[in-house]
């Protein structure tokens, strides 16, 4: 786990074990707010130790930005914290999350002690403001990567935790292409100093517009390419020919995992377009 201090009172933790997934901590005079919790207990325990033992910062709130295990699985390590999410995240943790964990435990002994924790405070729509120790933290429902996604905006620092709506390649296979376009446009309209992506490096002020425009153009490109295949009546097999670089993104990040994510995007769009015909 790599720890990075991106503001006086904001830390970002990036996994070394699982696809550079990130978590973050916002420190206040009244304790810490943890944004996501990483996949492997070993790494989440290192975060807990750093905050609670080294900084003497009790974790008051844990925000689950969405239900995916790599973002929510460490929540059980903070039993004293209030857990906050979108309503749908709570439902999906209870169903898909529980089933996924049971499956994952069969192959990974290090997950034996992990339990699903259902959030106790949920947001359905609009913005929830959390005021703690002089910080104002806004939770905004921004579906796209997944239907339950909340972004976390620290207004004092103009820092946005975008979760998986921002990562080295946009991902829509568990979410919605159109929702992601909409959410990215919403992010573009915010005045920001930095964005913490759900996976990969922090995006700094000067890079933000470029990154988001590149994501929007990728989403446009895959939509155009898949539309052509569907309109020509070609099979899903021909999606193979649409490589990630022809759609404007590098194949290198996340040790090449981005290419698999890209093909999953294409299959999702292809299935959706065929269903709608
Ligand atoms: Zn995710």
- What pLDDT was estimated at residue 277? 76
- What is the domain extent for residue 41? 2-275
Distance 231 CA to ligand 1 centre (A): 30
Distance 93 CA to ligand 1 centre (A): 12
The answer to whether the beta carbons of residues 145 and 172 sit under 8 Å apart is yes
CATH number of domain containing 263: 3.60.15.10
pLDDT band at 115 (very low <50, low <70, confident <90, very high): very high
pLDDT per residue over 170-212, tens digit each?
Answer: 999 999 999 999 999 999 999 999 999 999 999 999 999 999 9
Distance 263 CA to ligand 1 centre (A): 16
Distance 199 CA to ligand 1 centre (A): 9
Q: Which of 214, 138, 145 is nearest to 177 (CA)?
A: 145
Q: What's this model's pTM, rounded to 2 decimal places?
A: 0.97
Q: What percent of the chain has pLDDT over 70?
A: 100
- What pLDDT was estimated at residue 275? 86
pLDDT per residue over 134-168, tens digit each?
Answer: 999 999 999 999 999 999 999 999 999 999 999 99
Angle, nearest 10°, between helix axes 205-231 and 177-188? 160
- DSSP lists the bridge partners of residue 14 as 2, 22
CA distances from 100 to 48, 70, 86, 97, 193 (A): 24, 11, 19, 5, 36
Distance 232 CA to ligand 1 centre (A): 32
Q: What DSSP designation does 162 have?
A: E
pLDDT per residue over 54-74, tens digit each?
Answer: 999 999 999 999 999 999 999
The number of folded domains in the chain is 1
pLDDT per residue over 220-275, tens digit each?
Answer: 999 999 999 999 999 999 999 999 999 999 999 998 899 999 999 999 999 999 88
Q: Which residue has the tokens 């403001």?
A: 129
Distance 164 CA to ligand 1 centre (A): 5
Distance 56 CA to ligand 1 centre (A): 30
Pairwise CA distance, residues 64 & 11, whole Å: 17
Distance 84 CA to ligand 1 centre (A): 17
Mean of pLDDT values over 75-96: 98
Distance 41 CA to ligand 1 centre (A): 18
Classify 139 as helix, strand or coil.
strand
């Amino acid at each position: 786990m790599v720890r990075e201090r991106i503001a006086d009172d904001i830390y970002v933790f990036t996994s070394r074990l699982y696809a550079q997934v990130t978590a973050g901590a916002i420190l206040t005079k009244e304790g810490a707010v943890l944004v996501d919790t990483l996949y492997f207990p070993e790494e989440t325990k290192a975060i807990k130790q750093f905050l609670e033992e080294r900084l003497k910062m009790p974790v008051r709130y844990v925000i689950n930005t969405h239900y995916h295990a790599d973002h929510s699985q460490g929540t059980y390590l903070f039993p004293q914290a209030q857990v906050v999410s979108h309503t749908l995240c709570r439902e999906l943790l209870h169903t898909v999350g529980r089933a996924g964990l049971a499956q994952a435990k069969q192959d990974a002994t290090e997950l034996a002690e992990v339990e699903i924790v259902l959030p106790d405070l949920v947001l359905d729509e609009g913005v929830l403001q959390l005021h703690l120790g002089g910080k104002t933290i806004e939770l905004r429902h921004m579906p796209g990567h997944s239907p339950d996604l909340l972004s976390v905006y620290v207004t004092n620092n103009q820092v946005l935790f975008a979760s998986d709506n921002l990562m080295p390649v946009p991902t829509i296979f568990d979410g919605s292409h159109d929702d992601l376009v909409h959410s990215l446009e919403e992010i573009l309209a915010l005045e920001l100093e930095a964005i913490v992506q759900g996976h990969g490096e922090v995006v700094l002020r000067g890079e933000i517009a470029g990154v988001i425009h590149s994501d929007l153009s990728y989403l446009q490109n895959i939509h155009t390419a898949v539309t052509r295949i569907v309109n020509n009546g070609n099979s899903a097999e021909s999606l193979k020919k649409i490589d990630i670089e022809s759609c404007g993104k590098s194949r290198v990040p996340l040790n090449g995992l981005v290419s698999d994510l890209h093909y999953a995007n294409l299959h999702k769009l292809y299935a959706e377009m065929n269903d709608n015909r």
